[in-house]
Amino acid sequence: MTEQHNPANAVVLVNLGTPDEPTPGAVRTFLREFLSDHRVVETPRLVWYPILEGIILRVRPQRSARKYASIWRPEGSPLMYWSQRQRDKLAAALDGRAEVHVAMRYGSPSVGDVLTRLHGSGVRRVLVVPMYPQYSASCAGTVFDEVARWMLGSRDQHEVRVSRAFPRSPAYIEALATALERSWETTGRPDFASGDKLVTSFHSIPVAMHEAGDPYRAECETTVALLRERLGLGADDVCLRFQSVFGRAEWLGPKTIDTMDELARSGTRRVDVICPGFMADCLETLEEIDILNRATFLEAGGSEFHYVPWGNDSPGCVATLIEQVSRGLAGWADWATPAGPAGS
């Protein structure tokens, strides 16, 4: 059997995670694990845990469960559904060069469980790909931590490579631009000369993390600059905004939802919104952007709101993954250029 068809290589795609079901109990379990990670909330544990257990986990799960229920698919969590579709399409494109698995940083299947299962099946070379195009210690950094934790507890370790981030990846920038251009073939190109806007919305992080040296904001700015250049748009045509802010700490802004209200009230007729930091549709894109932000813009006087998905199992998203995986598996798999995305 040739190296190309040897299951000694594995790729693990790691996303943030999702509750198992849209119920307060399942959401509480998920949030407890997520918000207990010191990379996510850097408040000292003695201060944070009473707040988490005494307030947040008593109040937020019920509210969040309703939001999850509003976007839940017949197959289950949108994030899990699209992650599995990405796995299947990437595996088809790799054509036996490596196994492809999905793991969630919080919830199941966990990173540790997937690594243990791969080890038990004889796999010894693993490429871990955090599904975050821009690096932040509170996102991709937590994946590095979890892989290191597994290795610390393992006597016979994998040979592991971890992809860091890809904010300027050519395939990624092309995937974003192509998604917008294809959307505009249906909805018409925004009239930027008359004030229509393209809003790029990224998950925010606390300002304290940014000031401590986290490169996240700079990498978001890099992505937007390259996307704007690829589309031939001016600086005033594209807004970089941040979403998913919670708690009382100061977070990177401006906030996406505040911008929706401000643009509509200032006379902007149309906004198109794309979320470059989310490779799979989830609560933050489907509920926060396409429901809540849409309602905010239209209720404030806007006329057209278009949320433009770019990731999921699109050819551009699969091509982005192939670009990262081909680099990560270099020297492990017998290839120079992998196959194109399945279905492209």
From 276, 6, 300, select the one nearest 124 (Cα to Cα): 6
146-92-129 Cα angle (round to 5): 20
Question: Is residue 38 a known part of a binding site?
Answer: no
Round to whole Å and give the CA distance between 197 and 268: 8
Phi-psi label, residue 95: left if phi above 0, alpha if psi -120 to 50, beta otherwise:
left
> What is the spatial distance between Cα 156 and Cα 154, in angstroms, rounded to a whole number?
6
* 76 phi-psi bin (left φ>0, alpha ψ -120 to 50, beta other): left
**Structure tokens belonging to residue 138:** 């509170």
Distance CA 77, CA 70 (A): 11
**Measured distance CA(27)–CA(30) in Å, rounded:** 5
Q: Show the tokens assigned to 67.
A: 């939001």
- Please state, in angstroms and as integers, the Cα–Cα distance from residue 53 to each residue in 32, 49, 50, 105, following that order: 8, 6, 5, 21
Instruction: Determine whether the annotation assigns residue 158 to a binding site.
Output: no
Residue numbers belonging to the annotated binding site: 203, 284
Annotated binding site for Fe(2+): 203, 284
